[in-house]
Structure 1
Amino acid sequence: MNTRSTPPPSARISHVLVVVPARDEEERLGTCLHHVQLAMDQLAFHHSVTVRLSVVVDSSTDGSLCIAQEVSKRDPRICSLNVKVGSPGRARDAGIRAGLDGVPASELAGVLVACTDGDTFVPADWLVSLVNVANEGADAILGTVEPDPRDTDPDLAKLWHERHDPLDGTEHIYGANMAFRADAYLQAGGFPAYDIGEDAALIRTLRDAGKLVVGSTAVHAVTSGRLQGRTAGGFAGYLRDLQPGLRRGERRLPAHDMAYPGSYPSALPRRQ
């Protein structure tokens, strides 16, 4: 088991890089970025750290790029990238490497990379919570998610809540809500070039290297409950797999499936 005391001052978080990949997310991206900005504001209030946001628009055919560019024009902390890599993992990696360009190797341990998605809303204390956990010694932090009730079929949402333990969820991996130190990420080789499952693969590599991976139900987010996602699997694919249970009336998930972290009404943002 990995154990670690509070890291030395040199390893405390001094900079946060938020990376948001987006593909054809014009309906939710503006609200997503608004809530990330609120989290950036609260982080600056509570911690003496610098924070930047990289929005990586990948192969979009809608207005996502225009939204990202407009937001970046109004907020100097934000930059937008336009790539054609065809996967969230590759898009995340592009945003991370661009954001770390020029950072001295000696400072990478103090850089926390926080990831969410263009269809996900985070609470205002999201970054504060991530930095607090990292400053306790974590190399990587796994947050929790729940499907947005406003675009999730009510019966499917009910099944989700019934099947997920409100006290569990801290060992499950969601690319839409995770963070890691930049040095650990680069040592692990970054997100692998997978179409799906790159988040779980990265965490396996970090654990195999002896890095401390901490799950926290205090780090929560709300993601789209749609059934047709931007990849073949992902969270939308998981929700699709739940649908047969509506007919069978099942209540339990197999042990290897993702677990639900509990209901956090305060995390549910209002539409802008």
Structure 2
Amino acid sequence: MEIKVLGTLDAVQNGASIAPTASKPRQLLALLALQSGHVVTASTLLDELWGTAPPRSALTTLQTYVCHLRKRVETAGHPAVKDVLVTTYGGYLLNVQEVAVDVHSYEHLAERGHRALEAGRLEQGSDLLRSALGVWRGPALSDVRIGIRLAMEVTRLEESKLGVLEALMNADLRLGRHQVLLDELAKLTEQHPMHENFCAQRMIALYRCGERRRALEAYRLLHDNLIDRLGLTPSERLRRLRQAILHTDPGLSVPA
């Protein structure tokens, strides 16, 4: 079985799709997949599917959705369907190998990448983080209705992805790859116009490429966005970076 959540929801068993088309069963599969190997309580699933006001028939309907999922897995040729979607005391467990769900592959690669950077292995860390990002195919669960519980999971994953991007950009800057990062950082600052770290990284990359004026323009754009949207100014760190660029600080050159 292979389940993908980092993009549209996709679930395949023996080459056949087992992903339901109906909205709530898709939510159910998505939450079970994100928590694969762990019991998800019935109350958690009810919160996801119906929020704070479940109907009287909610528990019975949930059991129907589970049966529907099992039927799809069985139809796809799994010989022991109840060993895959397990009923436990108070909940359900999706019993698949970690490698079967793309989110676990992403998190494993990201963790290895961060550890490599902490150990000073910049090239290895950069490669691992890029591999982790390569697992993503788009926004997490982009075609699934998101309830209370999935919203928390999606937020966690998107924040994790931003952290990986920040670490990757920083590693590549330390490796002197500022030229190849320009387009990527331009897109990131466009997508996240108030993200100070991406702005700082773009300013450094532009400065090292001889684009001092554009580096200062990037700061001004961040400044204006923060003022207009939040009534705030850039942090002291960003202001110091701007001053360093204005004074051609040798500390901004590529590290040896």
If the TM-score is normalised by the length of the shorter chain, which range does it land in?
under 0.3
Larger RCO: 1 or 2 (CA < 8 Å, sep 6+): 1
Higher strand share: 1
